[in-house]
Structure formats: structure tokens, C-alpha cells
Structure 1
């Protein structure tokens, strides 16, 4: 019985050591560029004669960072990497009507708490490719800015409140595709593309009839990370 107990204790110790040797954890921080589809089509509502005005949307820059764990499966070149991240991203809409002389800039900048994971494959040394999924909880669903040149911005406050009541940022769900490289001195680099699979913006009934359409997000990020425990 004593020999069996010692053997089990030894196996348990070896298993624990192997687990820790395959585990990394650390921090990452990066910049990203985000876009949202079909924003002009949603905002123009029933005013659909776009020959009278010009309305366009463009992407904006943001940040993304947080915590990660990386567990490499024993005797393989495969790893699973769960992450808890903070993201600040959105889009911008520019409206210009030369006939009336009115123009405005509408900014949608949302903060998210993201939870998800990446399945990584290491074909050569620290080089890795990955695929994953992330759920993003919108922390600031009414974060909208409005700035115009009409009468020196006299109506900015009213229109900003109008859009905040009519447009609501929703939680976002993304598929992720990544290409990265991990150095031996604990630093790693990650280029990642996120593709939204659900509508990230909703609208409420207001005096202005916003159109219901598909609003998908996309993000391209480049991040730098540091592992506090290496394989």
C-alpha cells in the first residue's frame, strides 16, 4: 500500500509539472481598425433620394487588450488560448447636403468586454495560425457623438440626444482568424481579423424612421503580448 501511495503521488507530481510546463499566461495590448456595414442605409430612413445629399461611413481606430491563458496540448503543436479582453471600437458617418448647406459627423464609439478563445496550430517553432470565437458585451450602448457645422453647432445637443434614443449598440459576436509569432524571450505578436456574424446595432421607434438592415462589424488588430510563464 505504501508503494502504491508513493507511485500515485509521483504520477500526480509529474502530471502537475507537465501541466505547468505547457501553460503560459500574460497580458496583451494592441491597436485595431473597425468598420460597420450599412450604416448610411440605416440612418437615411425614408429619405432615400441620395442624389440630393452625400452620406458615407468609414472605419475608425481603437484599442484592444487584456489577459490570456495559453495551454499547449502535450506532445503536439496545438494550443488552446482563452482570453478576457477590453475593446474600444466603432465607426463614423459623414453627411453633407450642398443644397441646404447642412453637414454633420456621427460617431459611434463603443466599449466592450470580450470573452472567447483561439485554437492555435504551430507549424514551425513560434509561428502559429488560429481560429476562434468571441462574445463581446457592449458596456456603452448609447455612446454616440454628433457634431455639425449648421449654425455653429446650435442643434448638436438635441440631435445627439435624438440619435442616442434612436440607435442602440448591441452585444457583438465575432469569428476570429489570427497569424502570430511567439519569441523565446516571452514576447509574442498577433495579427488578427474579427468578422461579425450578428447585427451589432439596433434602433428604436422615433419620429425619424430608421431602416432595419444588417449591420455587421469587422476588426483588424495588431497586438503585442508578454507571457509571465513560458513553455
Structure 2
């Protein structure tokens, strides 16, 4: 009986010693925690920042317009530039292309047309077009279409007040519609004289025309 008590006491002492060692180990172990990862975020645009950006753009545009004015050049954003250039380009190019349309075997149906894409250029007052290409056509006459492209590509004119400028553009050529008024046949056409109305006169009245 005494042996069992001694053995039990030793077991309890051993268990206490084991627990004490474990507690000391946990206390000595470094407390390592995952460091939070800092994520850099761009500051959100504020209304004040957006307003400053718009104001800067307006100021830059105004400065550019002033430079154009002082140099004697038109402002590309002005109504005058639109009238002198943007509105004139289709008429000038169509007039050039009209040299190709002389009727005869090359006459087309009134609904046939060809659509060209190109780049408008102005350099030192010289206006011209580049990279002319056919993007759509219902005209089944390759020779006529090639002539249109060639004449449009070769068109040039000069205006000292035009600023340097580059922009994409397109032109639809309808030989029997919008272009017909520019053809040589139409320009040289002279119609019959209008009949002259004979004067009438009733007895005792003046002559009425």
C-alpha cells in the first residue's frame, strides 16, 4: 500500500513539473503577429481637383486661340474656320472629282455613289488630303472610281489664314446627284431662250407687257 502511495506521489510531481516546463516555454516564445500589409491607394479625385483641370484646359485653349490670332491664322474652333475650311472641303473635292464624269459610257445610275475616307491636312496655308481610299461603292466602273480617287488625292489650294491642321474626313460622291452641278456638261449647258411675251393693247389703252 505504501509503495502505491509513493508511486502516485511521484506521478503527480512529474505531471506538475511537465506543466511548469510547458508554461515557461510559452512565456519565453516570441509573440509573432502578421504585420499588416500597407496598400497604397491613389487619392480620389476631389471636385476641386476636377475644377482645376477644367480651368487649365480652358486656359490652354484660350492661349492657343490668342497665339493663332496674333499669327494671323484662324482658330480651328471658330465659326470662321468652319466656313472657310470645313464647309468648303466637300465642295472643292467634289468639283475636282467632277472632271472624271463626262457621261457617255461612264454614266451611272442616279442612286449609285462611292464613299472615300482620307485625312485632311493644312501645312503653312497649303490645304490638301492624304491617304485617300475607297471604303464603299455601288459604282461598278473601276476606271471611273480610280479617277475619282486620283483627282481627290491631287486637289490642293492655298489660304494664308488657315492654321496647320490634321483631321480624318470622308466624302460621298454621287455623280448623278450632288456632283452633277460641278460637271463640265452642266456648267457649259446653255438652254433655250425664254419666249418673249408679245405686248397686248386694247383700244384706247397703253401697251401692256
Tell me the TM-score normalised to structure 2 length.
0.28
Larger % of strand: which?
Answer: 1
Structure possessing the higher radius of gyration over alpha carbons: 2
Larger % of helix: which?
Answer: 2
Tell me the TM-score normalised to structure 1 length.
0.26
